[in-house]
Every structure is written in C-alpha cells, then in structure tokens.
C-alpha cells in the first residue's frame, strides 16, 4: 500500500519567516495530495490540495509544489504568523475517494512572535 | 467542523467493556470515515462507508466494527475495548465525486484503563 513520509516532525520559525514541510509518497498511482492543519483540540482542516496534473498551487501565503517524478510534494508558508502554529499533515490518495488517503505523521509548527 | 458532530467527546472505560462512538453529519455527505490518531502518528483509517449499509475496512480495522443505518449517522463499536485502543478518534465525511474536500469532526478522546 501507500506509504507517506513527512519531515520535519517539528519546526520552529520566527514570525515573518517562511516554513517548508516536505512529504514523499511511494505509490506512483496516487494523484491527489491534500494538506491539513490541525489546531489543538480540533479536527484536521483542509488548507490546500494539489492534483497530479498540476505542479504548483498557491493560495495567498500558502503554496504547494508537486514533483511526480521524485514522488514528493511540499507545503510552503510565507510570512508566518503566530496563528499559523499548529500541526500540519500531508496525505496522498488515488483521488476517487479522498477519504482513503494515507497520512504523514505530522509536523508541529511553532511560530515565535 | 462543517456540520459533523461526535459523541461522546471524552470517554473513560475499562478493558473488556463494549464502547460505541457516534458520528452525525448534517450535510448529506455520501462517504463517511473513522480514523484514529495516536501520538507521533498521522491519522489511520479504521473503517469507512460509501452509503447506507455499505461499509469496508481500512488499514487498522481489527477490534472495530461499524454500522450505518442512516446517511447522517456512522457508528464505531469496540466490541471489547483494550488498552491499545486508547486514542483520539475522528470521524470524517466527503461528498460524491472526485477530489471532494474531506471534513472532520472534533474528535473523541477514548481512554481504556
């Protein structure tokens, strides 16, 4: 089955700096890659996603890049703010059923004011 | 949480007792899922449902059963709880179609003593 590895497990940045989280996947048939943000005591919430026919997608301060050949994708957060502090999860699926995604183990991002 | 509620939110039980967790959604989503989340791990799929009375196993289904008698309700049952099932359980739902956003409930923290 699919295996998703996520790095780093913890990341601390200064407010205003950029943060990058990287994931690799093993199943070349995966074609949908969502990113979730989970705040303390809450369920994960989708923040951005990318499909395999797209190399990059941006939404304000958040961007995701995908390299299908290398089977890795990354989340980029620019101009970080304290409210960006949370646990971020990447996931991969074959797209027809997004709920059957395989998740990475998560990255705890801390943005220091 | 996009109309997804879970009950109870917290539960402490003893080894060997049966436990049922409830997920309720108000958006008429077709697909529903149960995940467990453990420290240092991402979310792992327990069971999922693709319609009323249609369910299937996920990657960590041993010791769990599910039922879906109505579109809006998805029940997760631990027939005989074990300490290894101490975890935070999340319910999620998606609509029909490819690449639909997955919405998560707020989670249930279960402790098995």
pLDDT score at B96: 67
Instruction: Tell me whether strands A107-112 and A10-14 are parallel, antiparallel or unpaired.
Output: parallel
As a whole number of angstroms, the distance between CA B16 and CA B29 comes to 33
pLDDT band at residue B39 under the 50/70/90 scheme: confident
As a whole number of angstroms, the distance between CA B4 and CA B13 comes to 24
What average pLDDT does this structure show over B81-94? 96
User: What count of other Cβ atoms lies within 10 Å of the Cβ of residue A66?
Assistant: 22
pLDDT score at A64: 97
pLDDT tens digits for chain A (113 residues)?
889 999 999 999 999 999 999 999 999 999 899 999 999 989 999 999 998 888 999 999 999 999 999 999 999 999 999 999 999 999 998 866 656 789 999 999 999 99
Is residue B88 within 8 angstroms of chain A, CB to CB?
no
What average pLDDT does this structure show over B61-69? 96
Record: contact A100-B92, CB cut-off 8 A? no
Is residue A40 within 8 angstroms of chain B, CB to CB?
no
Give the residues across from A49 on adjacent strands.
Answer: A34
């Amino acid at each position: 089955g699919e295996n998703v590895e996520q790095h780093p497990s913890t990341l601390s940045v200064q407010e205003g700096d950029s943060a990058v989280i990287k994931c690799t996947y093993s199943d070349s048939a995966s074609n949908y890659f969502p990113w979730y943000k989970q705040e303390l005591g809450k369920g994960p919430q989708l923040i951005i996603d990318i499909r395999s026919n797209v190399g990059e997608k941006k939404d304000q301060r958040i961007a995701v890049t995908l390299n299908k050949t290398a089977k890795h994708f990354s989340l980029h957060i620019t101009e970080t703010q304290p409210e960006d502090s949370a646990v971020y999860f990447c996931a991969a699926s074959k797209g027809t059923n997004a709920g059957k995604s395989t998740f990475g183990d998560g990255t705890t991002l801390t943005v220091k004011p | 949480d996009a109309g997804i509620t879970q009950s109870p939110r917290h539960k402490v039980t003893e080894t060997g007792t049966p436990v049922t967790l409830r997920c309720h959604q108000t958006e008429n989503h077709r697909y529903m899922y149960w995940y467990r989340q453990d420290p240092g791990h991402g979310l792992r799929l327990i069971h999922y449902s693709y319609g009323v009375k249609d369910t299937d196993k996920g990657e960590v289904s041993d010791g769990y059963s599910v039922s879906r008698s109505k579109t809006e309700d998805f029940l997760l049952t631990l027939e005989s709880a074990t300490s290894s099932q101490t975890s935070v359980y999340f319910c999620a739902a998606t609509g029909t179609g490819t690449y639909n956003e997955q919405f998560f409930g707020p989670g249930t923290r279960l402790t098995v003593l």
